[in-house]
Amino acid sequence: MSVVITMKRSLRSIIYISAAIIVLTAATAILLSGRDMRGEPVAVKPVAREIPEITLDEFGFQKGLYHIERGIVAARQTLSHILSRFDLRPVEIDRIAREMTDVFSPRRIRSGNNYYAYYGRNDSLPGLKYFVYEISDLDYLVVDLSDSIVVSRHEKEVTQQMKTATGVIYSSLWNTLVDNEIHPQLVFHLSSILAWTVDFYRIEKGDRFKVLFAENYVGDRSVGVSHVDAVYFYHRGREVEGYRFEADTILGYFDPEGNNLRKVFLRAPLEFFRISSRYSQSRLHPIHGDRRPHLGTDYAAPHGTPILAVGDGVVTRASYTSGNGNYVRIRHNSVYETQYLHMSRFATGIRPGTRVSQGDVIGYVGSTGLATGPHVCFRFWKNGQQVDHLRLEFPSGDPLPEEYMNDFIRLRNEMKVKLDGLHFPGDPMPV
Ligand SMILES: [Zn+2]
């Protein structure tokens, strides 16, 4: 086994290929396509050239050497049930179970999982050489029966393929992409990278994107998107570019000038304030007199103090209820929303649909609704849940430090050439 594993490692390679995604369905009104990137650099470690003829299966065994039988663990089947079909002596089955316990509890064998029996093909003494149990998509056990019994646990070789995708949006719904051809994980990656610069609720006809990304494979089976390397997004007449950069403690997406694509919120919706009540799952209510959750932070300030939007966004509510008083709710992106309660009045022009920038005045401190004194009850939603924003750890929104700029620019230029080489579906091919 050790020889096989060594060769497996040496074959590790990164292959640049393309994801040619072509969807031409009028029903979905979306057109996507990809560009072939064959001919891009193929990085193979030199050692691989010394053993070019050997190909391995996903468990690291040389192909063609064995006769393989696949089985599926049946309901309530135990290790000894499974092994009993292979002409093994009870003493051998016991030995396997004991050896296995060091790396994996035989009781954790699950029905529905695969196992494989490897028989020697050109052997004067035919018999079971290896037994493989697949723990998951990525983990497996090898029982080596070729000499003394040895059980070992392994991870499958995961290779990354660099892929590309481009798309022009012919409907207004980003979610339509999710429903169609683009890998949902890629949509998730793009949404979080671009959350601060692209309003995914306001995707419109003609918005378009190009993306370079890495997908993980075991053999030729995809096990998910690893990460996005670079993205170009044309959104509502504006171009956004993002490049992944990783060095030392830095990992983020930066625009071509090294500005972080992520922005941070203001720590509070007021410039000067005193926190009069914190977020709590059980607070003694100042008016009702009983204990109930307080899912916001109260900032006390004099009547009429300007209230600021903590981040860029769109006003979704500017209305009155008997509890909230005058309140404003802002959607910042597909992840975050904020709400500001008990205002004396709204700032001019603040109504549903108004776009606001970080620091814009949206209203003034008051005590409308259920309030004992002038304050802002500030509420913060993350993925639809009210959370304590003072306890949230926001990743850095800092620009790239100067000392990394040369490395970044080199990487950015390399990625940009690749992005520029991609064409949107429907565009004429370059001459
Ligand atoms: Zn409050």
pLDDT tens column, 274-304 = 888 888 887 877 777 788 888 999 999 999 9
Distance 237 CA to ligand 1 centre (A): 39
CA distances from 387 to 281, 291, 295, 341, 393 (A): 10, 18, 7, 16, 12
Residue intervals of the chain classified under CATH 3.10.450.350 are 14-49+158-262+397-431, 59-155
**Residue that wins the pLDDT comparison between 206 and 25:** 206
Topology (CATH) of 59-155: Nuclear Transport Factor 2; Chain: A, (3.10.450)
Distance 286 CA to ligand 1 centre (A): 10
Distance 342 CA to ligand 1 centre (A): 9
pLDDT at 397: 80
* 406: its two tokens: 């040369």
pLDDT at 125: 59
- Residue 13 reports pLDDT greater than 70: no
**Cβ-Cβ contacts under 8 Å for 427 (sequence gap 6 or more):** none
Q: In the predicted model, what is the mean pLDDT of residues 15-32?
A: 27
The CATH class that applies to domain 274-391 reads: mainly beta
CATH for 14-49+158-262+397-431?
3.10.450.350
Residues above pLDDT 90, as percent of the chain: 49
Low-confidence winner among 86-95, 179-188, 247-256 (lowest mean pLDDT): 179-188
pLDDT at 151: 95
Distance CA 408, CA 398 (A): 15
**Residue that wins the pLDDT comparison between 359 and 341:** 341
Distance 262 CA to ligand 1 centre (A): 28
Distance 289 CA to ligand 1 centre (A): 14
Distance 329 CA to ligand 1 centre (A): 14
Distance CA 174, CA 51 (A): 47
Distance 304 CA to ligand 1 centre (A): 17
Q: In the predicted model, what is the mean pLDDT of residues 227-256?
A: 93
- Residue 305 is given by DSSP the state -
Low-confidence winner among 10-14, 182-186, 266-270, 307-311 (lowest mean pLDDT): 10-14
Residue ranges with strand state E in 263-397: 274-277, 280-284, 291-294, 297-300, 306-308, 313-321, 325-331, 336-346, 355-356, 361-365, 375-382, 385-387
- Residue 253 reports pLDDT greater than 60: yes
- pLDDT per residue over 132-142, tens digit each? 999 988 899 99
Distance 326 CA to ligand 1 centre (A): 13
pLDDT at 233: 94
Long-range own/partner contacts, residues 89-96 (CB < 8 A, 24 or more apart): 92/145, 92/149, 95/149, 96/131, 96/143, 96/149, 96/151
Which runs of consecutive H residues, i.e. helices, occur in 129-196? 174-179, 184-193
Distance CA 347, CA 361 (A): 6
The DSSP element (H or E) to which 99 belongs, if any, is: helix 90-101
- Residue 243 reports pLDDT greater than 80: yes
Distance 297 CA to ligand 1 centre (A): 6
pLDDT at 176: 57
Return residues with CB closer than 5 A to ligand 1 (ion): 296, 298, 377
Q: In the predicted model, what is the mean pLDDT of residues 353-377?
A: 94
Distance 299 CA to ligand 1 centre (A): 8
Residue intervals of the chain classified under CATH 2.70.70.10 are 274-391
pLDDT at 414: 97
- Residue 19 reports pLDDT greater than 60: no
